[in-house]
Chain A
Amino acid sequence: MAEIVSLRQAIATHVHDGDVVAMEGFTHLIPFAAAHEIIRQGRRDLTLIRMTPDLIYDQLIGAGCARKLVFSWGGNPGVGSLHRFRDAVEHGWPAPLELEEHSHAAMAAAFHAGAAGLPFATLRGYAGSDLRRVNDNIRTVTCPFTGEELAAVPAHRPDVGIIHAQRADRAGNVLVEGIVGVQKETVLASRRSIVTVEEVVDDLAAPSPNSVVLPAWAIDAVAVAPRGAAPSYAHGYYARDNAFYLAWDGISRDREGFEAWLREHVLDRESAGAEV
C-alpha cells in the first residue's frame, strides 16, 4: 500500500546500492527530481534500465551512480549525443559502464512481460540485426503452434521502478495522462515502486473511466515533487524545456563543465518537495 512520504525518505527506503532500477517516462514525465535525489544520496553500482536514457541517465552516469545500463536509444532527442554516456562507454569515465542493448520493441515487451509475471517476452524482432551478436540476452524461441522462430528477451523485473505522474489522491492512487510510455508496466514489473507527483489532491478527478490510474495498493511510495519531471514535461502542468535540452549539449560536453553544473544544480540543492 502506498505511503505518502518525502522524496528523500522514498529514495532512502527503497533504493539501495547495487539495485536494478528502472526510471521510466518516454520523453514525457521523466522522473528527474527522483534521479537527483539518488545522486545526492550517493547510490553506487546501480543497474539502470530505461528505453531512452536521455539527460536523466546522462546525469546519473556522469555522477558515478551506474555500473550497467540496459537501454535501447541513448541520445539527446533531436540534439545529438549524450556526452556523459559516451565518455563512460568510450573512456570509462567516471567508471566503466557495462551495456545491455536492445530495441524499443524488445524493451517495451520486456516491461510488459515483467508486469505480467512472465519470465520472458517474445516478439517478431531483431531480424538481421547485429544486436543479436552483441547481446546474449537476445535469443530465439520457436512457436509451438506454427514453428515460427521469434525473438525472446528476459522480462524486466527491476528491484525498484520509479515514475513521475500528474497527481495522486490522499490514499495514494495515481493518475497518469498524456504520453504514458511504459510507466504502468514499469511499476507493475518492479518489486518496489516509487511514484513522484506534481501534487496530492482530495479528488483524483480522472477525466475518463479509461484514464490510466495506478491503484495505491500497487505502489510502495508516493512523494510530492513539483516540477519533478523538468526539463521534460508534465502534460497539463508545464511544457518541455527544449531550450535546456539544447543547452545540455554544451553543459555536458566536458567533465569540468558537467561537474560544476552537478554541484550547483543537484548536489548543493535541497531535496525537492516538502518533508512529510
Chain B
Amino acid sequence: MTEPTANDTDRSLDVPAATPTETMTVAAARALRNDDVCFVGIGAPSAACNLARLTHAPDIVLIYESGTLQTRPDVLPLSIGDGELCETALTTVPVVEMFQYWLQGGRISKGFLGGAQIDRFANINTTVIGDYDRPKVRLPGGGGAPEIAGSCHEVLITARHSSRVFVETVDFVTSLGHGSGPGDRAAAGLVTAGPVLVVTDLCLMEPDAETRELVVTSLHAGVTREQVTEATGWPVRFAARVGTTPAPSAEELGVLRDLHDRTERAHAGA
C-alpha cells in the first residue's frame, strides 16, 4: 500500500518521523544481508551495520580494522578500537593478521565506507581538500580504506548528500572506485566489483552498467529530483526507472533510536 492510511497517521503521533540521517542509516542497513561478512568503517557505516545486525541480519559478521572479528557491540563504538568491540567479539586478531589474512585473503564480502568527497565514478577522497602539498583542509587520510576498496568483494558507500561531498572529480583519490570509467579497476590490477551502491540522505545511486558513472536509482520518500540535482556536483543522471525507497519502519526507527540513546549515555562517560 503506497497511500498513507489512518493507522500511519495515528502512529506518527507517537513516533517522530524519520530524520534524513535516520532514513539514510536505515537504507544503508537494508543493503546488508544476513550472510555478509562486512568490514565496517567508523561513523555512519558503523551505525548502519549494527542496525542491520539488530534487525534483519542477526548473523551478519562485522569486522573492524582494530582486529575485532565477528563483534556484537551493545553500543556504537566511538573509535574502531573501543573496548566494547573487543569484549563482544568472537576473537581479536593482530592488525597485521586482520589486513593480510582476512582482508587481503579475500574473506570479506562487503566493505562499508564513508568519505569527505565522492565523485561521479565513486572514487573516494579522505586525504586532502585542495593540493596535497598545500592543502586547504588536511583530512585524516586513508586508514584501512584503500585496501578495503580493493580487496572486499563489493563496496558500499554512505554519506550525506551535498555538492561539497558529491563532486565531479575528487581532489585526491584515496580509495579507488571506478576510476574514470569501465576497465579502470581491472587496469589497476583489481578483480573485485568496487562500489555497487551509494546511500545518501536523499537517494540511492548505483554505477551505470556500461559507463560506471553513478546514477540515481531510488529517491527516498518525499525527495524530489531537483533536490538531488542541486545537491550533486555533477549533472547527475537518473536511471530509466527510479524507485521510491520505502520509508523506515517503526521497528527500524525504534531499534536505531535505542542504539543511539544507549551510545550517547555510554560515551558521556557517566
Interface positions of A (Cβ within 8 A of B): 26-28, 51-52, 71-75, 77-79, 81-82, 85-86, 89-90, 101-105, 108-109, 111-112, 123-131, 134, 148-149, 178-182, 184-185, 233, 235, 239-246
Return chain B residues, CB-CB under 8 Å to A148.
Answer: 189
Q: Which residue on chain B has the smallest CB distance to residue A78?
A: B78
A78 touches B77 (CB 8 A): yes
Query: 5 A-B contacts, Cβ less than 8 Å apart?
Result: A74-B141, A77-B80, A81-B138, A128-B188, A185-B96
Most buried by A among B98, B141, B266: B141
A233 touches B83 (CB 8 A): yes
A81 CA to B132 CA, complexed, in Å: 17
B143 touches A103 (CB 8 A): yes
Task: Mark interface residues in B122-144 (1 if CB within 8 Å of A CB, else 0).
Answer: 01000100001101011111111
A125 touches B150 (CB 8 A): yes
Contact of B80 among A27, A79, A108, A134 (CB under 8 A): A27
Judge if B238 is at the interface, Cβ distance under 8 Å. Answer: no
B173 touches A124 (CB 8 A): no
B99 touches A105 (CB 8 A): yes
**In the complex with contacts A128-B173, A129-B173, A179-B143 CB distance below 8 A:** no
Return chain A residues, CB-CB under 8 Å to B269.
Answer: 241-244
Return chain B residues, CB-CB under 8 Å to A245.
Answer: 78-79
Q: Which residue on chain B has the smallest CB distance to residue A86?
A: B138
Contact of A127 among B78, B86, B135, B190 (CB under 8 A): B190
A90 CA to B136 CA, complexed, in Å: 7
**In the complex with contacts A181-B66, A245-B78, A73-B83 CB distance below 8 A:** no
Judge if B232 is at the interface, Cβ distance under 8 Å. Answer: no
**In the complex with contacts A179-B66, A185-B96, A243-B267, A105-B79 CB distance below 8 A:** no
B42 touches A78 (CB 8 A): yes
- Those of B137-167 within 8 Å (CB) of chain A: 137-147, 149-151
Taking the closest CB of chain B, its distance from the CB of A195, in whole angstroms, is: 17
B83 touches A239 (CB 8 A): yes
Return chain B residues, CB-CB under 8 Å to A109.
Answer: 96, 99-100
A108 touches B176 (CB 8 A): no
Return chain B residues, CB-CB under 8 Å to A79.
Answer: 78
A184 CA to B67 CA, complexed, in Å: 14
B78 touches A178 (CB 8 A): no
For B, the interface residue count at a CB cutoff of 8 angstroms equals: 58
Taking the closest CB of chain B, its distance from the CB of A238, in whole angstroms, is: 9
**In the complex with contacts A179-B68, A243-B269, A75-B140 CB distance below 8 A:** yes
Judge if B104 is at the interface, Cβ distance under 8 Å. Answer: yes
B83 touches A235 (CB 8 A): yes
- Those of B154-206 within 8 Å (CB) of chain A: 172-176, 179, 184-185, 188-190
A103 touches B142 (CB 8 A): yes
Return chain A residues, CB-CB under 8 Å to B140.
Answer: 73-75, 81-82
Judge if B6 is at the interface, Cβ distance under 8 Å. Answer: no
Judge if B82 is at the interface, Cβ distance under 8 Å. Answer: yes
- Those of B53-86 within 8 Å (CB) of chain A: 65-68, 77-83, 85-86
8 residue pairs, one from A and one from B, having the closest CB atoms: A27-B81, A128-B176, A75-B140, A77-B79, A243-B269, A73-B143, A78-B78, A128-B188
B143 touches A112 (CB 8 A): no
B132 touches A134 (CB 8 A): yes
A86 CA to B13 CA, complexed, in Å: 46
Contact of B185 among A128, A233, A241 (CB under 8 A): A128
A101 CA to B133 CA, complexed, in Å: 12
Contact of B79 among A74, A108, A240 (CB under 8 A): A240
A90 touches B135 (CB 8 A): yes
Q: Which residue on chain A has the smallest CB distance to residue B67?
A: A179
Return chain A residues, CB-CB under 8 Å to B144.
Answer: 73, 103-105
A74 CA to B137 CA, complexed, in Å: 13
Return chain B residues, CB-CB under 8 Å to A77.
Answer: 42, 78-81
Contact of B83 among A71, A90, A101, A178 (CB under 8 A): A178
Contact of B147 among A71, A123, A240 (CB under 8 A): A123
Return chain B residues, CB-CB under 8 Å to A235.
Answer: 83, 86
Taking the closest CB of chain A, its distance from the CB of B136, in whole angstroms, is: 8
